[in-house]
Amino acid sequence: MLVGCGEWGFREMPMEQHFEICKDFGFHWMEFGIGGGQLGRLPEQPSKEDIDAFCALGEKYQIKTPFCCIENDFTLADEQQHQEMLEKVLSQIKAGAACGASHVRLFAGFTPLEQMTEVSWGRMLQAFARCDALCQELGLLIAIETHGAIKFDSTGAAIHSHTASTQREALSKLMAGLPERIGFNYDPGNLKPLADDDALLRLDLIDERINYCHLKDWRKSGEGWVACAIGDDDLDYKPILERMSFDGIYLIEYEPLEDPKEGIQRSLDYLQKIVPQVDLGG
């Protein structure tokens, strides 16, 4: 099993620290992000100097960065805001390609499913078609993350609700309307709070379209959920991994900020218990 490191838990660290931590663990594949106002990501509009500095870090630490996350929402109700979002994403896809990415992780959007209209569905699908055409020119593939809409309660626990990429019928509709080249970032942890008694967590539905995968879990906290490492709660990854057709690089995405190294280590320890071999690319 090929395993790399996701970027979200590094979002408040300087970029070089991402590389240092990954190097210390022995990872040879790392995810990076563009935009979203996070310290640990490249800026919204990376300059040539930003891109060159990023690529130099990859060379220095001998870590490949084929996975790029872009912060987007293609379900915005306002047409002008939607168009501005699309233009931003197209620009950031070009920057991701210049950084050496092979896959770009996007979101369908964070509008709760019950608020989606046929107009917003149409705009979303058209936006993905535009992005896919550019990615085809640049040699990239798109992966849409299975991600719900999230609000936080007074304790900081996340309340998840369905979006176009989580509810079963909506996900089927999304898949049917997308160009065939577009795949999915399968995130079983994100789907757990929205499972609706689906023990397979949509795997039977999207297995053939998975081209990217995050590994994490969420545990219940009051009426909400708190992100945690795989193995920290009750999401059993063994049957999921045994059923998956995906043969690419799985990314540990440990989200909490207070103990990223410990969370990554717990994730690796868990994987080593349930799979025959964990290969970090060395």
| Residue 241 near residue 227 (C-beta atoms within 8 A) | no
- Mean of pLDDT over the chain: 97
Alpha carbon distance 44, 42 (integer Å): 7
Please count the structural domains in the chain: 1
Tell me which DSSP letter residue 18 carries: H
Confirm whether 282 is domain-assigned: no
| Residue 172 near residue 116 (C-beta atoms within 8 A) | no
Alpha carbon distance 178, 229 (integer Å): 32
Residue 44 is part of which domain span?
2-274
| Residue 190 near residue 146 (C-beta atoms within 8 A) | yes
Q: With 80 as the cut, is the pLDDT of residue 74 above it?
A: yes
Phi, psi at 159, each rounded to 5°: -105, 115
Alpha carbon distance 101, 211 (integer Å): 14
- CATH number of the domain that residue 139 is part of: 3.20.20.150
Q: With 80 as the cut, is the pLDDT of residue 282 above it?
A: no
Confirm whether 24 is domain-assigned: yes
Which contacts (CB < 8 Å, 24+ apart) does range 46-55 have?
A: 46/92, 46/95, 46/98, 46/99, 51/95, 51/98, 51/99, 54/15, 54/99, 55/99, 55/100
Residue 252 confidence class, pLDDT cut points 50, 70, 90? very high
**156-204 pLDDT per residue, tens:** 999 999 999 999 999 999 999 999 999 999 999 999 999 999 989 999 9
**80-124 pLDDT per residue, tens:** 999 999 999 999 999 999 999 999 999 999 999 999 999 999 999
Q: What angle do CA 257, 232, 157 make, to 5 degrees?
A: 55
Q: With 90 as the cut, is the pLDDT of residue 64 above it?
A: yes
Q: With 80 as the cut, is the pLDDT of residue 14 above it?
A: yes
Q: What angle do CA 144, 233, 279 make, to 5 degrees?
A: 60
- Report pLDDT for 160: 98
Confirm whether 51 is domain-assigned: yes
Confirm whether 279 is domain-assigned: no
Phi, psi at 234, each rounded to 5°: -105, 10
Q: Can you tell me the mean pLDDT for 260-279?
A: 97
Confirm whether 35 is domain-assigned: yes
Q: Which helix (H) or strand (E) holds 2?
A: strand 2-5
Alpha carbon distance 17, 73 (integer Å): 28
Confirm whether 281 is domain-assigned: no
Q: With 90 as the cut, is the pLDDT of residue 13 above it?
A: yes
The SS3 of residue 4 is strand
Structure tokens at 266: 């717990």
- Report pLDDT for 190: 97
**126-155 pLDDT per residue, tens:** 999 999 999 999 999 999 999 999 999 999
- Report pLDDT for 15: 98
Confirm whether 280 is domain-assigned: no
